[in-house]
């Protein structure tokens, strides 16, 4: 019994089929990788804005949201996910909202901030996530906004995104 040899035509067809499969699958894979890197920021901003809306329920407008919090951690991780040192999320506003970027022992790639403006008739908040996913110094930013009036909080539709994939 002799081994069958592959002709150049069969090899060319196999190569063409393999190249076509790669041409279709590689861009889809790259899109999925980028989307998975943004999930943390999208979920974090959504969670933070939901916590603000819940915090406003039944409260007077002038105290609907906790005070503003600067970027936490102060410098977003550069190109890698990092664990937070103890006490990073101990600011009273983070405690009042029960918000953390990630559970203890889980690294994260974004830093978060909360800007609030409290008034007698109308109060607002901006929940922010900033991250440097590839370590080049350019930050991706994600923002959700909301407001409170008369003991009812709401989130504005949509999300502001700047330099999504930097």
pLDDT at 39: 86
Number of domains present in the structure of the chain? 1
Residue 2, domain member (yes or no): no
Residue 31, domain member (yes or no): yes
> Using H for helix, E for strand and C for coil, what is the string for the chain?
CCCCCCCHHHHHHHHHHHHHHHHHHHHHHHHHHHHHHHHHHHHHHHHHHHHHHHHHCCCCHHHCCCCCEEEECCCCCECCCECCCCCCCCCHHHHHHCCCCCCCCCCECEEEEEEEECCCCCEEEEEEEEEECCCCCCCEEEEEEEEEECCEEEECCCCEEECCCC
130 phi/psi in degrees, rounded to 5:
-130, 140
Q: Which residue ranges in the chain fall short of pLDDT 70?
A: 1, 30-37, 164-166
What is the Cα–Cα distance from 45 to 156, expressed in whole angstroms? 13
Per the CB < 8 A criterion, the answer to whether 123 and 129 are in contact is no
What is the Cα–Cα distance from 127 to 129, expressed in whole angstroms? 7
What is the Cα–Cα distance from 158 to 145, expressed in whole angstroms? 9
Residue 119, domain member (yes or no): yes
Task: Provide the domain limits for residue 88.
Answer: 8-162
Residue 154, domain member (yes or no): yes
Task: Take residue 101 and report the two structure tokens written for it.
Answer: 């970027």
- Strand-pairing partners, residue 142, are 129, 161
pLDDT at 18: 86
């Amino acid at each position: 019994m002799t081994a069958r040899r592959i002709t150049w035509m069969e090899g060319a067809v196999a190569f063409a089929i393999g190249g076509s499969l790669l041409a279709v699958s590689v861009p889809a894979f790259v899109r999925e990788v980028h989307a998975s890197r943004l999930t943390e920021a999208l979920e974090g901003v959504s969670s933070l804005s939901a916590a603000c809306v819940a915090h406003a329920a039944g409260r007077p407008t002038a105290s609907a949201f906790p005070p503003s919090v600067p970027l936490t951690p102060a410098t977003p991780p550069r190109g890698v996910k990092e664990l937070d040192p103890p006490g990073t999320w101990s600011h009273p506003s983070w405690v009042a909202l029960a918000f953390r970027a990630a559970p203890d022992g889980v690294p994260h790639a974004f830093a978060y901030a909360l800007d609030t403006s409290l008034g007698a008739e109308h109060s607002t908040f901006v929940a922010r996530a900033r991250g440097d996913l590839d370590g080049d110094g350019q930050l991706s930013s994600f923002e959700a906004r909301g407001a409170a009036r008369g003991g009812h909080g709401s989130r504005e539709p949509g999300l502001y995104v700047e330099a999504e994939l930097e």
